[in-house]
Structure 1
């Protein structure tokens, strides 16, 4: 294909060579350079693609797309653009033949609730015959294929590649998590979203490797609503108006308040041995009763979001009711049966907002004790550790502090930071650095009527230490612990 075809939706300047150069592949990884390749030079946090321009040219690349000056032999075409990340997104879409235009793309952004909601929407739409792709924190799903995720929102080239495979598989729609990082780094640029969803906003992802401040975080979330036809928002969230201040789409709301287009009323908790759930009535745009096998108010919000989307796909109420009953997500309030006396669950809550929401919800079921086991990730904001420690110390009857993904930090240093947060409360705690031993302690000391939460790891099946991901799945650890305890 001609390079000009990849560039057709971009503003660019031909610095050297010709836009009519014949090209074969599009890459942003210098290691994949080969004859006929177009190399997009990305200025990343760790390395700058412009530094590899000469190396890529020597490997026979046909063209470079740059945002800075580079020195390369005369035989190679150089295209200059304002922003190479944005260019990668639009050239990737062109390279794969604009697959998003053949799908109804539903994008979900927010601090929490994205993952559960994507699975709920997919479950409901598939139950009425839609074939739905999924891209999110846990995995990408394309037909029968499940691809583990590295990022909540992958690089733009990967997204477009997945879209193309979904079209090939016969998918008519895709539901995807859209992170603020993904929006900020133009990974979703050029995608024509049919529906954009805003779940909620909390003070998370603020730090040197993420967003410089909360204002930037809010601004980036709002970018989704400048590239979708319809925005569906949690109207109860205090930051809803801030996020939507520059929205260019039609807007609908869901929530508990009277002014919402889709409302939850008559909410009540459902509790049976080994079962925690919630039931409510949907009113406004639709009118029916719902019961879901996931506890708490946030489960009402997640399911309302899914209902709001599926309403636009004309899904009948009875289908939504059945589909919500069976929608489950690995590592999101995932109940693991270990005893007839107490309840144990795994959840991905890994920041203060999600942990507070989870523990507050579980307290409403009046457990004998609420036990919270968690750690915090290394090389992330220390504030998260203090805040999570304070939340658990305030809400849990017992906190078991352990290790999460220490990355390049010492696990004990992270534990010490968490203890500073707990120290602001009267909460009881024990510290057991080894996560398996911590889980063993929790199960061994479980009392009748307890609810025990293993927080932070959720769906993850590894522990990251010094740059290496070691296999570690809490479901496997629980099984091993039960065998060791002879249960």
Structure 2
């Protein structure tokens, strides 16, 4: 594809060379540069792409895109723009033929619930024999094909490539988790959203956004982009802000405040939740295998999308009744007199919602094991400790993904919050040993809750990434077949 065509609708300056050159690929990682490619130099949080221009050229790049002054004596084309990250979204869309315009794109954003809502919507759409694409935290999917994911919402170049692939594979609908990072960093700028969904907004990612106001404003960008409808949780404190920023028809859902789509007569149990959904004068009974009030909210969001698309409630009801999501209130199938539940809850609100879900069950003790991620929002650590102390009967504080931080420093910040409660707790820094201890202390009818990692099958340490699937670890411990 000609460079001039790739740069369509972008303001740029030719520093050297010309735009009448054939481009065989685009990359922002110099290691992926190949003969005839274009390298886009993006400023990251830890490095500057401009430092890798020579490496990209040596690997075959014939053009580079920059947003700073550079000097290079190679015989290549150098294009300068105001912001390479923002330009990359448009370049990627041009290169892959504006794929989102050929798809019905549903974006889901919020602190908690994004993954569950996307899977529920996917299940509903597939129940009507639609081929559905999914982009999100656990994995990317095209129909039944699974593709690995590195972040909740891919970088714009990778995202547009996936969307192109979905078009080519005959996908009609795409359901996508849209993170606040992706909105703030222009990853979804060229996505043609039809429906935008807002789940909730609670403290998270303040290492990046700095304030809740900045965080909320980043989320609200999605609702300015939606063409058909905006689905909004009216019970959330930030719903008014999201509604104000919505440029399409607003459809509200909720439990507490009046909403267009509401849940009534909620009955919670350890194996699921049942309720009656009401849309104007239409009612239907809904049954979910994922318990908790948060599951009711998540399913209401999915029901709202289905309503907008004209999908009958009977179809929706059947599609939701068997939905299960890895790492979301996942009750393990084990031979033990107690239950083990794995959940991704990694924010104060997420942890509180998870623990509240157990309140209506006739169980023994709630033994909660959790930690907090390193190199992330430190302000939530004592808050999560305080939440844990309020709702659990016994807490084991351990590591999550400590990354470059000292695990014990993270634990001490969590401990500061739990000390304000009367809940007994124990610190076991090694997460595998912590799980072993939790299982050893569990008695009949207790619930052991492993929170924070959910679907993840790895742990990120200072020295690198290790395999860490809590399902396998629990099985190994119970079978007496632990790895040394």
| Fold-level similarity (TM above 0.5) | yes
Query: CA–CA distance in 1 between the matches of 2:299 and 2:335?
Result: 29
Secondary structure (helix, strand or coil) at the match of 2:20 reads: coil
Secondary structure (helix, strand or coil) at the match of 2:358 reads: helix
1:252 match: 251
Q: Using a 3 Å threshold, how does the CA distance of structure 1 residues 321 and 52 change in structure 2: closer, same or farther? A: same
Aligned mate of 1:288, from 284, 289, 292:
284
TM-score, length basis structure 2: 0.95
1:331 match: 327
Q: Using a 3 Å threshold, how does the CA distance of structure 1 residues 464 and 264 change in structure 2: closer, same or farther? A: same
Q: CA deviation at 1:54?
A: 4.0
Relative to structure 2, which stretch is displaced further, 361-370 or 130-139? Answer: 361-370
Query: CA–CA distance in 2 between the matches of 1:106 and 1:95?
Result: 22
Secondary structure (helix, strand or coil) at the match of 1:346 reads: strand
Q: CA deviation at 1:366?
A: 4.3
Relative to structure 2, which stretch is displaced further, 32-41 or 325-334? Answer: 32-41
- Confirm or deny: 8 A CA contact 1:67 1:84 kept in the other structure: yes
Q: Using a 3 Å threshold, how does the CA distance of structure 1 residues 413 and 180 change in structure 2: closer, same or farther? A: same
2:87 match: 87
2:175 match: 175
Query: CA–CA distance in 1 between the matches of 2:361 and 2:56?
Result: 60
- Confirm or deny: 8 A CA contact 2:203 2:347 kept in the other structure: no
Query: CA–CA distance in 2 between the matches of 1:57 and 1:438?
Result: 49
Query: CA–CA distance in 2 between the matches of 1:60 and 1:309?
Result: 46
Secondary structure (helix, strand or coil) at the match of 1:382 reads: coil
The CA RMSD over aligned residues, in Å, is 1.9
- Confirm or deny: 8 A CA contact 2:204 2:377 kept in the other structure: no
2:44 match: 44
1:7 match: 7
Secondary structure (helix, strand or coil) at the match of 1:20 reads: coil
Aligned mate of 1:417, from 410, 413, 432:
413
Relative to structure 2, which stretch is displaced further, 336-345 or 80-89? Answer: 336-345
Relative to structure 2, which stretch is displaced further, 25-34 or 469-478? Answer: 25-34
Q: CA deviation at 1:328?
A: 0.7
Do structure 1's residue 267 and structure 2's residue 249 form an aligned pair? no
Relative to structure 2, which stretch is displaced further, 283-292 or 387-396? Answer: 283-292
Q: Using a 3 Å threshold, how does the CA distance of structure 1 residues 245 and 16 change in structure 2: closer, same or farther? A: farther
- Confirm or deny: 8 A CA contact 1:254 1:308 kept in the other structure: yes
Matches within 5 A, 1:37-186: 37-73=37-73, 75-186=75-186
Structure 2 unaligned runs (5+)?
Answer: none
1:227 match: 225
1:376 match: 372
Query: CA–CA distance in 2 between the matches of 1:145 and 1:213?
Result: 38
Query: CA–CA distance in 2 between the matches of 1:333 and 1:341?
Result: 18
How many residues are treated as equivalent by the alignment?
Answer: 480
Query: CA–CA distance in 2 between the matches of 1:258 and 1:215?
Result: 23
Secondary structure (helix, strand or coil) at the match of 1:221 reads: helix
Secondary structure (helix, strand or coil) at the match of 2:107 reads: strand
Secondary structure (helix, strand or coil) at the match of 2:42 reads: coil
Q: CA deviation at 1:74?
A: 7.3
Do structure 1's residue 434 and structure 2's residue 430 form an aligned pair? yes
Q: CA deviation at 1:7?
A: 1.5
Do structure 1's residue 317 and structure 2's residue 316 form an aligned pair? no
Q: CA deviation at 1:320?
A: 1.1
Secondary structure (helix, strand or coil) at the match of 1:363 reads: coil
Query: CA–CA distance in 2 between the matches of 1:74 and 1:373?
Result: 56
- Confirm or deny: 8 A CA contact 1:17 1:74 kept in the other structure: no
Query: CA–CA distance in 2 between the matches of 1:13 and 1:348?
Result: 46
Secondary structure (helix, strand or coil) at the match of 1:248 reads: coil
Q: Using a 3 Å threshold, how does the CA distance of structure 1 residues 485 and 78 change in structure 2: closer, same or farther? A: closer
Query: CA–CA distance in 2 between the matches of 1:447 and 1:96?
Result: 57
Query: CA–CA distance in 1 between the matches of 2:299 and 2:105?
Result: 19
Do structure 1's residue 471 and structure 2's residue 470 form an aligned pair? no
Q: CA deviation at 1:212?
A: 2.0
- Confirm or deny: 8 A CA contact 1:57 1:72 kept in the other structure: no
- Confirm or deny: 8 A CA contact 2:26 2:37 kept in the other structure: yes
Structure 1 unaligned runs (5+)?
Answer: none
Relative to structure 2, which stretch is displaced further, 357-366 or 72-81? Answer: 72-81
1:359 match: 355
Q: CA deviation at 1:485?
A: 9.0
Aligned mate of 1:341, from 318, 337, 343:
337
Query: CA–CA distance in 1 between the matches of 2:221 and 2:19?
Result: 31
Query: CA–CA distance in 2 between the matches of 1:257 and 1:142?
Result: 36
Query: CA–CA distance in 1 between the matches of 2:437 and 2:58?
Result: 58
